[in-house]
Structure 1
């Protein structure tokens, strides 16, 4: 299986994607999925994509409640993946 980037087709996951809908990029509506066909993302391309999304849309962590959120600012986050 390859890790591929894709977009929905007529609001549906393409038939060639066996496990999709992961890590949507709000800027271009692409998602990550797994497929036997398509252009495979390398580890470096995948990491660059995810860091770019996080740069534009920082992830937050819950602090005792789903309402109160705190910025996640961990410089070693990619080293522990």
Structure 2
């Protein structure tokens, strides 16, 4: 499985609704509210053999209220 971190910027006033919608999909390992340029941080494991971009597009980016995302791929745990 490929571990990725996805920073999510939400439309103003929608962060809680976006977080609730993501939580209901049960596609994440961890979900945090964060400070800074983005509102939420999602830790997600992409199943082996899946295309990372297509998986994220199909399972996450259609959540209403998401304005922008930044995906960080991981390579090795220390």
Whose helix proportion is higher, 1 or 2? 2
TM-score normalized by the length of structure 2: 0.33
Q: Which one has the largest radius of gyration? A: 1
TM-score normalised by the chain length of structure 1? 0.32
Higher relative contact order, chain-length normalized (CA < 8 Å, sep 6+): 2
